[in-house]
Protein backbone atom coordinates (compact mmCIF):
# COMPACT_ATOMS: atom_id res chain seq x y z
CA UNK A 1 0.00 0.00 0.00
CA UNK A 2 1.26 3.47 -0.89
CA UNK A 3 0.56 4.80 2.61
CA UNK A 4 3.10 2.42 4.17
CA UNK A 5 5.67 3.22 1.47
CA UNK A 6 5.43 6.90 2.38
CA UNK A 7 4.81 6.71 6.13
CA UNK A 8 7.57 4.29 7.08
CA UNK A 9 10.44 6.35 5.58
CA UNK A 10 8.99 9.52 7.08
CA UNK A 11 8.86 7.93 10.53
CA UNK A 12 12.31 6.39 10.11
CA UNK A 13 14.01 9.60 8.94
CA UNK A 14 14.34 11.17 12.39
CA UNK A 15 15.95 8.03 13.78
CA UNK A 16 18.42 7.68 10.92
CA UNK A 17 19.32 11.36 11.22
CA UNK A 18 19.62 11.14 15.00
CA UNK A 19 21.79 8.03 14.80
CA UNK A 20 24.14 9.67 12.31
CA UNK A 21 24.30 12.76 14.51
CA UNK A 22 25.18 10.64 17.54
CA UNK A 23 27.95 8.89 15.61
CA UNK A 24 29.36 12.24 14.51
CA UNK A 25 29.32 13.67 18.05
CA UNK A 26 29.60 10.60 20.25
CA UNK A 27 31.36 12.43 23.08
CA UNK A 28 28.77 15.20 23.24
CA UNK A 29 25.92 12.69 23.36
CA UNK A 30 27.79 10.58 25.89
CA UNK A 31 28.29 13.58 28.16
CA UNK A 32 24.57 14.37 28.01
CA UNK A 33 23.59 10.74 28.69
CA UNK A 34 26.12 10.08 31.46
CA UNK A 35 24.01 11.30 34.44
CA UNK A 36 21.03 9.19 33.34
CA UNK A 37 23.19 6.15 32.67
CA UNK A 38 25.00 6.40 36.00
CA UNK A 39 21.71 6.78 37.86
CA UNK A 40 20.14 3.87 35.95
CA UNK A 41 23.07 1.50 36.47
CA UNK A 42 23.17 2.40 40.17
CA UNK A 43 19.47 1.57 40.54
CA UNK A 44 19.84 -1.68 38.58
CA UNK A 45 22.98 -2.86 40.39
CA UNK A 46 23.02 -6.65 40.39
CA UNK A 47 20.24 -6.85 37.78
CA UNK A 48 22.17 -5.77 34.69
CA UNK A 49 24.83 -8.35 33.77
CA UNK A 50 28.46 -7.26 34.05
CA UNK A 51 28.91 -8.01 30.33
CA UNK A 52 26.69 -5.01 29.46
CA UNK A 53 28.94 -2.05 28.66
CA UNK A 54 28.70 0.89 31.03
CA UNK A 55 30.86 3.35 29.14
CA UNK A 56 28.54 6.15 27.91
CA UNK A 57 30.40 6.56 24.60
CA UNK A 58 30.06 2.84 23.82
CA UNK A 59 26.37 2.89 24.69
CA UNK A 60 25.82 5.97 22.51
CA UNK A 61 27.51 4.19 19.58
CA UNK A 62 25.37 1.08 20.10
CA UNK A 63 22.22 3.19 20.31
CA UNK A 64 23.23 5.11 17.18
CA UNK A 65 23.85 1.88 15.27
CA UNK A 66 20.42 0.58 16.31
CA UNK A 67 18.80 3.83 15.18
CA UNK A 68 20.53 3.84 11.80
CA UNK A 69 20.12 0.11 11.14
CA UNK A 70 16.54 -0.23 12.33
CA UNK A 71 15.64 3.11 10.74
CA UNK A 72 16.93 1.97 7.37
CA UNK A 73 15.09 -1.36 7.74
CA UNK A 74 11.84 0.43 8.60
CA UNK A 75 12.25 2.88 5.73
CA UNK A 76 12.86 0.02 3.29
CA UNK A 77 9.97 -2.03 4.67
CA UNK A 78 12.31 -4.88 5.71
CA UNK A 79 11.07 -6.48 8.95
CA UNK A 80 9.18 -3.26 9.76
CA UNK A 81 7.53 -4.59 12.91
CA UNK A 82 10.84 -5.68 14.42
CA UNK A 83 12.53 -2.46 13.29
CA UNK A 84 9.77 -0.42 14.94
CA UNK A 85 10.20 -2.29 18.22
CA UNK A 86 13.97 -1.79 18.12
CA UNK A 87 13.50 1.92 17.50
CA UNK A 88 11.00 2.13 20.34
CA UNK A 89 13.46 0.37 22.62
CA UNK A 90 16.05 2.94 21.65
CA UNK A 91 13.71 5.92 21.91
CA UNK A 92 12.65 5.41 25.52
CA UNK A 93 16.07 5.64 27.18
CA UNK A 94 17.14 8.37 24.77
CA UNK A 95 14.12 10.44 25.75
CA UNK A 96 14.62 9.84 29.46
CA UNK A 97 18.29 10.75 29.20
CA UNK A 98 18.06 13.79 26.95
CA UNK A 99 14.74 15.47 27.75
CA UNK A 100 14.38 15.50 31.53
CA UNK A 101 12.31 18.68 31.51
CA UNK A 102 11.15 18.12 35.10
CA UNK A 103 14.71 18.77 36.28
CA UNK A 104 15.19 22.04 34.35
CA UNK A 105 14.74 25.28 36.33
CA UNK A 106 14.98 27.88 33.54
CA UNK A 107 11.44 28.28 32.06
CA UNK A 108 12.37 28.64 28.38
CA UNK A 109 14.74 25.64 28.46
CA UNK A 110 12.18 23.64 30.46
CA UNK A 111 9.51 24.35 27.86
CA UNK A 112 11.89 23.37 25.04
CA UNK A 113 12.75 20.07 26.74
CA UNK A 114 9.07 19.39 27.42
CA UNK A 115 8.27 19.92 23.73
CA UNK A 116 11.03 17.47 22.76
CA UNK A 117 9.76 14.96 25.33
CA UNK A 118 6.20 15.18 23.98
CA UNK A 119 7.49 14.94 20.39
CA UNK A 120 9.26 11.72 21.31
CA UNK A 121 6.09 10.45 22.98
CA UNK A 122 4.32 11.07 19.65
CA UNK A 123 7.06 9.19 17.82
CA UNK A 124 6.62 6.33 20.28
CA UNK A 125 2.93 6.24 19.35
CA UNK A 126 3.82 6.07 15.66
CA UNK A 127 6.29 3.26 16.34
CA UNK A 128 3.65 1.33 18.29
CA UNK A 129 1.30 1.62 15.33
CA UNK A 130 4.04 0.51 12.96
CA UNK A 131 4.90 -2.42 15.23
CA UNK A 132 1.27 -3.55 15.26
CA UNK A 133 0.77 -3.07 11.51
CA UNK A 134 0.35 -6.45 9.85
CA UNK A 135 0.20 -4.90 6.36
CA UNK A 136 -3.31 -6.23 5.83
CA UNK A 137 -2.43 -9.77 6.82
CA UNK A 138 -4.18 -11.40 9.77
CA UNK A 139 -2.32 -11.20 13.05
CA UNK A 140 -0.69 -14.24 14.61
CA UNK A 141 -3.34 -14.23 17.33
CA UNK A 142 -6.18 -14.29 14.80
CA UNK A 143 -4.49 -17.06 12.80
CA UNK A 144 -3.94 -19.14 15.97
CA UNK A 145 -7.58 -18.77 17.04
CA UNK A 146 -8.77 -19.69 13.56
CA UNK A 147 -6.53 -22.76 13.43
CA UNK A 148 -7.75 -23.84 16.87
CA UNK A 149 -11.36 -23.39 15.78
CA UNK A 150 -10.80 -25.42 12.60
CA UNK A 151 -9.07 -28.16 14.58
CA UNK A 152 -11.93 -28.24 17.08
CA UNK A 153 -14.51 -28.59 14.26
CA UNK A 154 -12.50 -31.39 12.64
CA UNK A 155 -12.23 -33.18 15.98
CA UNK A 156 -16.01 -32.89 16.47
CA UNK A 157 -16.62 -34.38 13.00
CA UNK A 158 -14.24 -37.25 13.70
CA UNK A 159 -15.88 -37.87 17.06
CA UNK A 160 -19.32 -38.03 15.41
CA UNK A 161 -18.03 -40.45 12.77
CA UNK A 162 -16.44 -42.61 15.44
CA UNK A 163 -19.66 -42.56 17.45
CA UNK A 164 -21.68 -43.63 14.39
CA UNK A 165 -19.20 -46.40 13.64
CA UNK A 166 -19.41 -47.70 17.22
CA UNK A 167 -23.23 -47.65 17.30
CA UNK A 168 -23.52 -49.63 14.03
Taking the domains of the chain in order of start, what are their residue ranges?
1-131, 138-167
What is the pLDDT, as a whole number, of residue 21? 97
What is the pLDDT, as a whole number, of residue 139? 76
CB 28 within 8 A of CB 70: no
CB 67 within 8 A of CB 84: no
Angle at which helices 80-98 and 56-76 cross, to 10°: 140
What is the pLDDT, as a whole number, of residue 122? 97
What is the pLDDT, as a whole number, of residue 76? 96
What is the pLDDT, as a whole number, of residue 161? 85
Mean pLDDT per 10-residue section of the chain, whose length is 168 residues: 90 97 96 92 89 93 98 96 97 93 95 96 96 82 88 90 82
Amino acid sequence: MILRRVARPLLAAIFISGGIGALRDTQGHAKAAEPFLTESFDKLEGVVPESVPRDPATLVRIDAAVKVGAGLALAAGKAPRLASLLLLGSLVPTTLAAHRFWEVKEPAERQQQQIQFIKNAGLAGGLLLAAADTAGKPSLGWRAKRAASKTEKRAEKLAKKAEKAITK
